[in-house]
Amino acid sequence: MRKSPLPSEITPHAIYLERRKILAQMGLGLAGALSAGAAPSALAGTGQKLTGYHPTAYGQDEKLTTYDNITTYNNFYEFGTDKEDPASHSGLLKTRPWTLTFEGALKRPRQIGVDDLMRLFPLEERIYRMRCVEAWSMVIPWVGFPLQKLIQWAEPTAQAKYVEFVSLADPAQMPGLRRAVLDWPYTEGLRMDEAQHPLTLMAVGLYGEVLPNQNGAPIRLVVPWKYGFKGIKSIVKIRFRDTMPVTSWMKANSAEYGFYSNVNPAVDHPRWSQATERRIGGGLFEARRKTLPFNGYAEEVASLYNGMDLKKYF
């Protein structure tokens, strides 16, 4: 299976950070992530450990959001529009067997099961700052692999300029589909170069465990320099296209949600400011934080948008 199994069989989230510290001291390349002080979690988690994943240098020198907050304050409208709905109503989601279908501009259409996929690519842990368009943020230790690798494997043709992602839409498993809050299935998209950027992750876990359903099990997208809604959950289809996909949020309200949706404190949402954000779990008296261009990842990604008017292409 995956390379270099690590002593990562430790269960309680309470000692999670301690483990990371030990790994760092062992010289396993964990940088900057010693964000001590995340509170112990009262929740059990999925209980399914992911083993053999590599800690990486992608760490934020910031306190991790607690497991409880990450898994009970969610947006996953297929299970309802309240923040607690996904945790309460995603219990029926069946995440195995799970097949990803690849179609469109590629050498040949393909399908692969999610377990086979996880065997193909070594898993990494990456701590990313996440910023929702609703002006709140979290710091999440994801486990996954770069989308770049999956794209290489899928062998798109030169026609592929965009990648379109499609979530599962099964009313038997997803009670939120009864309401037409969005044009189901949830779809998202990236430009090919965004999709192939090394920061763009396909996540299968968090806090060292298999993703809970409410966070997009069994596999979801994570694009840390874009607003959270680009991080489409429970993906069943990936389509390579020569034209820009029209995403669910663009269909719902194209004046408020553009294709790019890069985190940009200088471009307000028409109904609220994007200049600051509230860190989830910060407590009543914690000051709002200044939102950073590209959510703090400008050094890595700003060059993708050279010469583009980011007020126009919001």
- Which of helix, strand or coil describes residue 32? coil
Nearer to ligand MTE, 121 or 229 (CB): 229
Segment near ligand MTE (CB under 6 A), from 44-52, 70-78, 104-112, 251-259? 70-78
- End-to-end, the C-alpha distance of the chain in Å comes to 42
Distance CA 275, CA 281 (A): 19
Minimum CB distance to ligand MTE, residue 85 (Å)? 10
**21-25 contacts at long range (C-beta below 8 A, 24 or more positions apart):** 23/55, 24/55
Strand partners, 101: 111, 237
Question: Which one-letter DSSP state was computed for residue 286?
Answer: S
Q: Which of 178, 209, 212 is nearest to 78 (CA)?
A: 178
Nearer to ligand MTE, 23 or 135 (CB): 135
Nearer to ligand MTE, 117 or 132 (CB): 132
Nearer to ligand MTE, 53 or 77 (CB): 77
What is the greatest pairwise CA distance in the chain?
55
Nearer to ligand MTE, 8 or 247 (CB): 247
Residue numbers 56-95 binding Mo ion by CB under 5 A: 75
Q: Which residue of 6, 38, 132, 147 would you call a contact of ligand MTE, by CB under 6 A?
A: 132
Q: Which residue of 162, 184, 186, 225 would you call a contact of ligand MTE, by CB under 6 A?
A: 186
3-class SS shares of the chain: helix, strand, coil, % to 5: 25, 25, 55
Segment near ligand MTE (CB under 6 A), from 7-15, 76-84, 102-110, 147-155? 76-84
Q: Which residues contact 188 (CB under 8 A, 6 or more apart)?
A: 164, 165, 221, 229, 230, 231, 232, 245, 247, 248
Q: What is the DSSP string of 110-134?
A: EEEEHHHHHHHS--EEEEEEEE-TT
Minimum CB distance to ligand MTE, residue 125 (Å)? 16
Distance CA 166, CA 231 (A): 11
Q: Out of Mo ion, ligand MTE, none, which partner does residue 93 contact, by CB within 5 to 8 A per kind?
A: none
Q: Which of 200, 224, 194, 218 is nearest to 146 (CA)?
A: 200
Minimum CB distance to ligand MTE, residue 189 (Å)? 13
Minimum CB distance to Mo ion, residue 31 (Å)? 28
Identity of the amino acid at 113: G
Nearer to Mo ion, 208 or 216 (CB): 216
Minimum CB distance to ligand MTE, residue 203 (Å)? 9
User: Cα 70 to the chain's mean position, in Å?
Assistant: 12
Distance CA 216, CA 210 (A): 10
Q: Which residue of 78, 125, 209, 277 would you call a contact of ligand MTE, by CB under 6 A?
A: 78
Minimum CB distance to ligand MTE, residue 160 (Å)? 22
Contact pattern from residue 99 through residue 138 relative to Mo ion, giving x for each residue in contact according to CB under 5 A and a dash for the rest: ---------------------------------xx-----
Residue numbers 194-253 binding ligand MTE by CB under 6 A: 215-216, 228-229, 231-234
| 228 binding Mo ion? (CB under 5 A) | yes
Positions touching ligand MTE (CB under 6 A) are 74-78, 132, 167, 186, 215-216, 228-229, 231-234
Positions touching Mo ion (CB under 5 A) are 75, 132-133, 228-229
